[in-house]
Structures are given as structure tokens and as C-alpha cells.
Amino acid sequence: MKVLYIFAHPEPKSFNAAMKDTALAALKEKGHEVKLSDLYAMEFNPILKASDFPDRKNPDFFNPFLEAIKASKTGAFSPDIKEEMEKVRWADLLIFQFPIYFTAMPALMKGWIDRVLAPGFGFNPVTNSAYDTGLFKVKSAMLAFTAGAPKEVYSEGGAHGDIYRHLESITHCVFEYMGMKVLPSFMVFEAGNMSGERGDEELEKYRQRISEL
């Protein structure tokens, strides 16, 4: 299997980085081909902007949606977007790993989605029924994340509400929107306050989970 691993954490010695290294090793051990987009290390730019489209349909008025549809036909995206699109095209499975900030992805990773999974590339924006006609029907996607809060806070009746509800904006409205199969998320709660022992246990759980993909 071809796996694109998209990762966003600013500290190379963090638990998140250890999760990433654990997953990459487990994937390679199983014989999968792996490409990594380490968004902090790459200094990926998360801001959707006019220069994303070097051959503008309308140079006087920037409509990101219409420019993306045109660029999806001609391939005229900026080089950093094109590079990521190539990895997505290549991959059978996309894994997104990140620490939750305010019940959602860090801006850096949201920006990868905003810019790379463009209209016309991941979904057909004209049909008005993208869920049925998503262009990534043969791919799968999975989230792996850490959260500072305990699991109870992210449960129905908990202060933040059910974690699955928060994930839907990605799992349903991005992954399923593009026709991808969604694999169960791997979640580590109370990640800010872990003993070394619990950290090791969570890494081992993650290694096993990744080995079974």
C-alpha cells in the first residue's frame, strides 16, 4: 500500500513526533511505501492566496473557488501545492496526525486541506452532490491525534461534547465528501500529562494499530 503521512507538530522531541516515527517504522516494516509531509519541517504555508494560482482566470478579481476549478484542469497551481497533490494522487491511504487545538486541527494542517484538496482536484464542485461523485473513491483516510483534555470532556454530556461530532468536519465533510473511506481515528487523550510508562503504552497501541492496516 502507498501511504501519505501528513504530520503537524512543532517539536521534534515531542510525543507527537514519537508517534509519527513509530507509525513510519511500522508501515515500512510491513512493506508499505511511505511519503511524509512534515508540515512544520517543510515550512508549509497554510494561507490560501492569489499566488497559489500562477495562471489566473481573472487577474483583477481573486475568486479562490473559480481559480481552483480552472487550475485543476490546467495543473497551474503553485509548486508547493502541486508537490502535495502529486503525493495525494500517488497514495492509497492518507494519515493525518496532529495535536488538537481547540477541538480541531492546528491551522497549519487545516491550511494544507484548504489549499491542496482543491475544488476540481478532490471533488467535483459542479455536481452539487460531491458526496456521491468524490474523486478519491479508491483512497482511504485516517486521523491520529492527541488531546489535552480527558476523554470524558469529549463525550456526549461532557463539556466539549462528543469527539466524533468535532471530527465530522474532517471525516465526513472532507474525507467522505471526496469519496474516501474513513478508517477509525487513533486518539490519545490527556496527552499533556502522561507518565513515560503510559506514553510507551500508547506508542505500542499505535504501533499495533498501524501494523494492522
d(CA 149, CA 98): 15
Instruction: Report the residue number, 43 or 197, with the smaller CB distance to a second copy.
Output: 43
User: Residue 212 corresponds to which cell in the numbers above?
Assistant: 494492522
Question: Measured from the CB of residue 211, what is the shortest distance to a second copy in angstroms?
Answer: 29
Site string for a second copy, 53-72 (x = CB under 8 A): --------xxxxx-------
126 touches a second copy (CB under 8 A): no
> Strand 186-188 relative to strand 140-146: parallel, antiparallel, unpaired?
parallel
At a CB cut-off of 8 Å and minimum separation 6, what does 12 contact? none
78, 103, 133, 185: which one binds a second copy (CB under 8 A): 103
CB contact at 8 A, 169 and 104: yes
Q: Number of C-alpha atoms within 13 angstroms, CB side, residue 74?
A: 14
Instruction: Report the residue number, 36 or 125, with the smaller CB distance to a second copy.
Output: 125
32, 57, 160, 181: which one binds a second copy (CB under 8 A): 160
182 touches a second copy (CB under 8 A): no
The amino acid present at 200, given as its one-letter code, is: D
d(CA 70, CA 101): 33
Give me the phi and psi of 172, to 5 degrees please: -90, -55
- Provide the annotated active-site residues: 148, 154, 160
Question: Measured from the CB of residue 210, what is the shortest distance to a second copy in angstroms?
Answer: 25
199 touches a second copy (CB under 8 A): no
Q: Which residues bind a second copy (CB under 8 A)?
A: 10-11, 13-14, 40, 46-50, 61-65, 101-108, 110-111, 113-114, 117, 129-131, 148, 159-161, 165-166, 168-170, 172-174, 177, 192
